Structure 1
Amino acid sequence: MDQHQQQTRVLIVGAGTGGTAMAARLARRGMAVTVVEKNEFVGGRCSLIEKDGFRFDQGPSMLMMPHAFEQTFADLGCQMSKVLDVRKCKTNYKIHFPDGDNITLSTDMTAMKDELERIEPGSFDGYLGFLREAKYHHDKSFSMVLNRNYKHWWDLVTIENAIEACKLHILSTVWNRTKTFFKSDKLRKAFSFQSMYMGMSPYEAPGAYTLLDYSEATDGILYPMGGFNTVIKAMESIAKSNGATFRYSCPVKSIIVDQPSKLATGVLLENGEELRADIVVCNMDLVTAYSRLLPPTQITRSILKKNQSCSTISFYWGLDRKLPEDAFHGHNIFLAQDYKPSFDAIFKDHSLPESPSFYVQIPTRVDAAAAPEGKESVTILVPIGVLTDAMTPQLMQALVARARAVVIENMQKRIPGCNDFEKWIESETVNTPFDWEEKFNLWNGSALGLSHEIMQVLYFRPQMRHEVFGNVFFVGASTHPGTGVPVVLCGARILEDEIAGVLAEGNGFKHQKLFGVFGYELAMSMTVFLALVSAFVLAVAVDMGLGKQVVIKAL
C-alpha cells in the first residue's frame, strides 16, 4: 500500500452488505475508514429479529453462489470456513402445488431424476439440457457481469457482447427457457420462480437468469449457523481489525458537496455533526440517496423513473411446536393457483395477488438454536408490489390481514395435520413495504432495489461512481452489478478496484468522460443499432445456409 492510500479518509454511509464489505476492503488497504449507520446494528436487511426466544433472518436466508462469499473472504485474507460455520441444507426446497402435489429439489441427481420422472416421464433428459444452458448463463454472467465494470458505453457496445447476448437469451424470458425443456406446467413453474430472487416475474426476466437454477443444482443452498447476519458481522470484525470505525444510530442528513470543485467533502449527520472525508461511499439505497442526500443532477430524474423490483409482506412467527418434517423442509415454496396473474398483480398492478405464491423458511431445520427447544421459528415472505401514491397505511393493514389469512388457509388445507396452524402462533412480528422503507430507506419499500430488466443492467444501471461528484461512489443492490448478497459482494470487489484505480490516476477525482451525461442516451442508441446489425448479419447467415441450426438455437 502506498503513502497516498494510507492517508485517504473514507466515509461509508450504511453498514449493509456492500458498506461493510467495502469497509473491510478499504481498511485492509490502509485507508482511514469510518462507517455511519442509521440503525443500531450491522447488516441492513441481512439483520436478525430476536423476540420471545425466537430468532429470524429479517431478510436474506439462503446462502447461494458460495464461491462469491469464499472469494470475498479470501480477498480479505482469510478462509470463510475459518470465520463462519456454514452448513449445506439437506434439500433445496419443497415446492407445494395448489392441487396438493409437491416436489423436492436438491443437488442429488438420483433423487432429482425420480422426482422429475414422477411428474413428467422422460423429463430428466430435458432437465440435464436445461442445466447445460443454465451453466453457460452462470459462467458467462460471472465473467461478463459480476467481474467487470461498465463505465463507458463502449465497454458495452461490442460485437463480442452482441454475440454473447444472443447466447445468453437476453431477448427471451426465464419462462420461455423452461418451456424449451419441459412439457409439464408444474416443472416449468418449479424452475422459473427463482427469478423472484432478482425481484422479477419469470415472464419478464431475461432468460439468462436461469443461472440461479444452475447454482442451486450444483452448490445447493447453504445456511450460516447463527443466522445470515453472522456473514456481515464477520466482515465487520475484519474491518475493525484493520482500523475501521463503525458508528451506529448515526443517520445521515446529506452528503456535503463543493459545487466549484465538484467533490464531496464529507457528510452531515442528522444531529448536526459534520464528518470530513476524501471519499464518500454510499451504501444507502441508491434511489433514496439520489433523492435525499445529494443535489439533483441531470441523471437524478432518470434514476427516479427507473422500474423497481417488488416488496414483501414478511411474517415472523414463533410456533409453540415443531412442524412435520416430511411436509416442511428448511426452504419451502407454496405456488399460486393462478401463477401468471399473480406476477401481473405484483409487477403491473403493484398490489397483492388474489392468490399469491409465498416462501416459508424454517431455520431450525438446520440451526436448532433459532428457537426454544420443542418450538419452531418460521419466516413467511409474501411478494407484493412496491408502494404507490395510492397506498396508505390503512390499506396496507387490510392487505396484511388478507395475506396472513391466505398463508394460514394454505397451511391448513395443503398440509396434513396442520388444521390448527393459526393456534400454534405464539409470537408474531410483521414487516410491510412501509417498514422496509422506514427501517432501511428502501425507495417505495422495494426489497431488492431497481429491477434487472435489460435496460437497467450493465452500463444502463446507475454507475458506481457519481456522474458529477467524482469522489462519491455507490455500492449495493441498485448499482452495478445488481441485487442479491453474492452479487453485491462482487460489486464491492469491482468498486475496490475502481477506487484504487482512481487514486492511482492522481487527478484529484476529476471526471474524464467524453460524452458526460449524454453517454447514457448514446449507449442506448448504439445498442439498438448494434442489435439491428447483428440481427441482419444472423439473417444473412441463415439465408446463406451458414450454421442455420446454430443461429436458430442461439436466438
Structure 2
Amino acid sequence: MKKVVIIGAGLGGLAAGIQLQHEGYHVTIVEKNAHAGGKMMPVKIGDYSFDFGPNTITMPDVFRKVLSNVGESLDDYIEFVRLDHHTKNVFYSGDSFIQSTSPDAVIKQLADLDPTAAQTYWDYLKEVQRLYKQSEHGFFHRTFQSWLDYLSPSLTKAFFSVRPLETMNHFHSRYFKNKEILQVFNRYATYIGSSPYKTPATFSMIGYLEMTEGVFTIKGGNPNLAQAFVEVFKKLGGSLHLEQEVSQVIVRDQTAAGVQLASGMEVPADTVIINGDFITATKQLISEELRPSLPNKKLDSYEPSISAFVILAGLKKYQQDIHHHQVFFPEDYKREFSDIFEKNQLPEDPTVYICHSAYTDRSISKGSNLFILVNAPAVNMKSGEEIDRYKNKIYDRLEKEGIDIRENLEVEKVYTPDSIAHLFHAYKGALYGVSSHKKSDAFLRPRNKSKDIKALYYVGGTTHPGGGSPMVTLSGLNVAKKIIFNDKA
C-alpha cells in the first residue's frame, strides 16, 4: 500500500486525501492549526459564532463530486441554502443595488440606475456564460506546466476566446455606464485578490455563477463543509493529525520521501502533497539547492494578492437591515486599488464588505455576527495603536451608514495581514497567493507538480486552477487523479 502525506487540511488537501484513500492509498494529513478547512475556519467568541471564510459559496456540485466519487452523498452531511437575492450593494451616492439570480429583478433595478445596462444585461449574461463554459471546458480540469501546454489548436483557440488581453474594467465598461453599478461587477476581481483595472476580463466569468446558479451558504455555518470532508476521510480510514506542524519535506535522490515534523518525528511517504501557500511552503519546507527552477529570488518576485483587515464584531442587537452579504462602496473605487497595489498602504476610503450569516440562520449566533472585511495590501501592522485607528475608521464609516457598532458591540476580534500570514503561512498575508495582474500569473498559476522533485505535488488556491473554494477543491481532485493515473501507468 503506497503512503501519501498531505501537508495542510484545507479543502484541496481534504479532497485529494479522500480520493486517494478510497483508491487504496494510506493517506496521512498533517495540519498545523487546531481546525481542518484552512481559511474556512470557525471562530467562537462567547455566544457569537463567525465563519472566517470563505463566505461566498458557489458551484456546490464540485463539493458534491468529492464525495460522490467515493460512493457518498454530501447532502447526507450538510445542507446547502441558496441565496437568490444575495448581496446588497450600498453606494456613496446613497443608492443601492441588490444582486439576484433573477434577471428580471436585476433589470428592474438597472432601469432606474443604469438604463443602458438594462438593455444590455441579457447580452452580458450570455457573454460571461460563454467565458465560463470555455474556461470550465479548457482549463479547470487540467494542470498546466508551461505556455507550451496552450499550443494545441483547441486550447489556443479557447485561450484567445476568453479575452485574456482585455482588462475586466474595460470589458465591463462595454455594458455598464453608471460608475457605481460598474463597481459591483468589477468587484469580482477581488475574489481572486486582484484589481479589476489590471486583471484579465476572463475572470468576469466568476460572476456568472452568482448571477445564474446563485450564492450558497451552509446551514449551521460554512465550516460544516470541511467537517463533512473530515468525517468521510476518517470513515475511509485516513489519518488526520491537527496541531502538528511540518518543518521540512524529506527529499532523497531528488524524490519526496516524507516529512519531518517540528517535533523531530519523521513521517515516511511515497508521495507528498503540499496543501498550503505555494511560495511560503516552498521556501520554508524545501532547501533552495533542491529546487533550482524555484530559487528564492524567483519566489520573492511574485506580486502578492490582496490581503485583508478583518473585524469580527458581535452586536447584541440584531441588525435586521444588514443582508447576508452587504457591501459599502467608496466614492473613488479606483483609488482603493492604487492605495493597495501601487502605494502599498491601507485604503484611505475602503470598500467595506460584511457577511452577516445570522441574517439567514438566526440559530448560528447570538445577536448579529458581523464578519467585516476591508481589502488591504500585504503590510505589517504590529502597532496596536495603528490597528485601533484603522478599526475605528471602519466603525466610523459604518455608523455613518446607520449601523450602531459601538453602542451594541459585545465582542470583537481583529485580524491583520500579519496575523493572516502567521495563521495560514500565507505569503505576506496574501489571501489568494499570487495576484492575477500579469498574464503569466493569471493563466500559469504555480504548477501542481514539482519540476525539480519527483513525487511532490501542490494543491490549494495558490496553484492551478486558482483561488476560491470550488477551484481549491478542484485542484485537490485534479492532483489526486494525476497521481492515481501515473501510478497505474
Partners of 1:399 and 1:477 lie apart in 2 by: 30
Following superposition, the deviation at residue 37 of structure 1 comes to: 0.8
Alpha-carbon distance, 1:55 to partner: 0.7
Deviation at 1:407? 2.2
1:127-153 deviation line (CA, Å, top 9, x unaligned): 111111100111111111111122354
Cross-structure match for 1:19: 13
Code of the residue aligned with 1:456 in structure 2: it is: D
Name the residue aligned to 1:434. 418
Gaps of 5+ in 1: 1-6, 506-555
Name the residue aligned to 1:310: 306
TM-score, scaled relative to structure 1: 0.85
SS of 1:200's equivalent? coil
One-letter amino acid matched to 2:460: G
Structure 1 position 456 matched with structure 2 position 441? yes
> For residues 19 and 137 of structure 1, do their structure 2 counterparts lie closer, same or farther at Cα, with a shift above 3 Å needed?
same
Contact 2:271–2:455 at 8 Å: present in 1 too?
A: yes
CA contact (8 A) 2:31 2:241 kept: yes
Aligned residue among 191, 206, 217 for 2:200: 206
1:469 to 1:144, Cα distance in 2 relative to 1, 3 A: same
1:385 correspondence with 2:372: no
1:349–1:385 CA contact under 8 A, matched in 2: no
Kindly report which structure 2 residues correspond to 1:312-391, keeping only aligned pairs within 5 A, or say none: 312-325=308-321, 328-372=322-366, 375-387=367-379, 391=380
Partner residue in 2 for 1:512: none
* Contact kept? 2:20, 2:484, Cα under 8 Å: no
C-alpha displacement at 1:424, in angstroms? 0.9
TM-score, normalised to structure 2's length? 0.96
1:88 and 2:82 equivalent? yes
* Counterpart among 350, 375, 397 of residue 410 in structure 1: 397
Tell me the distance in 1 between the aligned counterparts of 2:331 and 2:41. 32
Pair 1:256-2:268 in alignment: no
Q: Is the 8 A contact 2:116 2:176 kept in 1?
A: no
One-letter amino acid matched to 2:53: G
Q: Matches of 1:349 and 1:165 in 2, distance apart?
A: 32
Q: Say which SS state the counterpart of residue 20 (structure 2) adopts.
A: helix
Tell me the distance in 2 between the aligned counterparts of 1:163 and 1:408: 49
In the TM superposition, residue 16 of structure 1 has moved relative to its aligned partner by: 1.0
Asked if 1:486 corresponds to 2:470, the answer is yes
User: Does the CA-based 8 Å contact 2:14-2:476 persist in structure 1?
Assistant: no
| SS of aligned partner of 1:67 | helix
CA distance in 1, matches of 2:201, 2:116: 23
Contact 1:131 1:213 in 2 (8 A): no
Q: What are the equivalent positions in structure 2 for 1:38-437 lying under 5 Å apart? A: 38-258=32-252, 261-296=253-288, 297-301=291-295, 302-325=298-321, 328-372=322-366, 375-387=367-379, 391=380, 393-394=382-383, 397-415=384-402, 418=403, 420-437=404-421
**Cα distance, 1:200–1:148 mapped onto 2, change above 3 Å:** same
Q: 2:332 & 2:176 partners in 1: Cα distance? A: 19
Q: Distance in 1 between matches of 2:407 and 2:84?
A: 29
Matched, 1:500 2:484: yes
* CA offsets 1:492-511 (integer angstroms, 9 cap, x no match): 11111211122123xxxxxx
Identity of aligned residues (%): 26
Residues 116 and 175 in structure 2, CA contact (< 8 A), matched pair in contact too: no
Partners of 1:187 and 1:40 in 2: how far apart?
41
Q: How does 1:535-554 map to 2 (within 5 A)?
A: none
Does the aligned pair in 1 maintain the 2:116–2:177 contact within 8 Å?
no
CA distance in 1 between counterparts of 2:148 and 2:84 reads 45
Alignment check: 8 A CA contact 2:74 2:228 kept: no
Distance 1:461 1:303, change over 3 A: farther
Root mean square deviation of aligned Cα: 1.5
Following TM superposition, by how much is the alpha carbon of 1:370 offset from its aligned partner in structure 2, in angstroms?
Answer: 2.1
Q: Deviations over 1:257-276 (max 9, x none)?
A: 11xx2112211111111111
Task: Return 5+ residue gaps in structure 2 as ranges.
Answer: none
Query: What SS does the aligned partner of 2:247 have?
Result: strand
* Counterpart residue number, 1:536: none
Paired positions, count: 484
Residues 91 and 329 in structure 1, CA contact (< 8 A), matched pair in contact too: no
**SS across alignment from 2:293:** helix
Q: 2:12–2:474: 8 Å Cα contact kept in structure 1?
A: no
- In the TM superposition, what is the alpha-carbon distance from 1:59 to its structure 2 partner? 2.0
In the alignment, the residues of structure 1 paired with residue 103 and residue 278 of structure 2 have an alpha-carbon distance, to the nearest angstrom, of: 41
Contact residue 16 and residue 43 of structure 1 kept, 8 A? yes
Q: 1:392 offset after TM fit, Å?
A: 5.2
Q: CA deviation at 1:101?
A: 1.1
SS in 1 for 2:483: helix
Q: Does the 8 Å contact 2:434/2:462 carry over to 1?
A: yes
Query: Conserved in 1, the CA contact under 8 Å of 2:84 and 2:102?
Result: no
The answer (yes or no) to whether the contact 1:303–1:462 under 8 Å persists in 2 is no
Give the secondary structure class of the aligned counterpart of 2:33: coil
Distance 2:86 2:286 in 1: 42
**Aligned-partner Cα distance in 1 for 2:255–2:76:** 40
Letter in 2 for 1:504: K
Structure 2 distance, partners of 1:202, 1:247, is: 40
Q: Distance in 2 between matches of 1:356 and 1:428?
A: 20
User: Which residue in the other structure is 1:547 paired with?
Assistant: none
Distance in 2, matches of 1:149 and 1:273, equals 33
Give the SS at the match of 2:9: coil
Matched residues in 1 for 2:5 and 2:70: separation? 19
- SS of 1:299's equivalent in the other structure is coil
